[in-house]
């Protein structure tokens, strides 16, 4: 009977596969390490790029909020009620609101609150009366605190 011979070809491919794996074990391990290394490197590059974007947007927001604070002080205490000063203030408040989502949802919420405060209180800066400068400054400080926290969390 040919039954034992029929069993041989079935096990022969398994044996040849095992032998092939043994012969090429180093190559297979090298391929696995290379694929893992490439995957990790790609992930790391994406994380680094995301952190870089958050940092750049954060520093720009801190710079713009400082300049908005100067506009507020010039209008409130310095008596600079020129149209250029007014336009500059609106430009900075809008840029801050528009860039904040690049940092985080918390920064976006603070920037939106700052914009709403600016919108409601900017007209009062002309009279140098009331607490408009203080309220706008408080909104700027809250935004800056949130941005600093986001930067520290990037470690």
pLDDT on residue 21: 84
pLDDT on residue 3: 53
Mean pLDDT by 10 residues, the chain (155 residues): 52 81 87 90 88 94 96 87 89 97 96 96 83 94 96 88
CATH class of 3-152: mainly alpha
pLDDT on residue 147: 97
The stretches of the chain forming alpha helices (DSSP H) are 3-23, 25-76, 83-99, 105-121, 132-152
CB 57 within 8 Å of CB 99 = yes
Supply 61's token pair.
């927001």
Supply 68's token pair.
């908005």
pLDDT on residue 16: 85
pLDDT on residue 9: 57
């Amino acid at each position: 009977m040919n039954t034992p011979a029929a069993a041989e070809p079935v096990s022969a491919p398994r044996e040849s596969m095992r032998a092939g794996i043994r012969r090429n074990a180093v190559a297979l391990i090298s391929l696995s390490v290379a694929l893992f290394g490439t995957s990790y490197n790609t992930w790391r590059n994406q994380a680094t790029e995301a952190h870089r974007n958050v940092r750049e947007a954060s520093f720009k927001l801190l710079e713009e909020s400082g300049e908005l604070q100067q506009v507020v002080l010039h209008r409130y205490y310095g008596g600079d009620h020129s149209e250029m000063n007014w336009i500059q203030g609106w430009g900075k408040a809008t840029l801050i609101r528009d860039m904040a989502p690049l940092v985080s949802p918390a920064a976006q919420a603070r920037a939106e609150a700052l914009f709403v405060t600016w919108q409601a209180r900017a007209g009062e800066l002309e009279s140098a009366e009331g607490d408009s400068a203080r309220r706008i400054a408080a909104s700027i400080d809250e935004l800056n605190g949130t941005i600093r926290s986001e930067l520290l969390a990037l470690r």
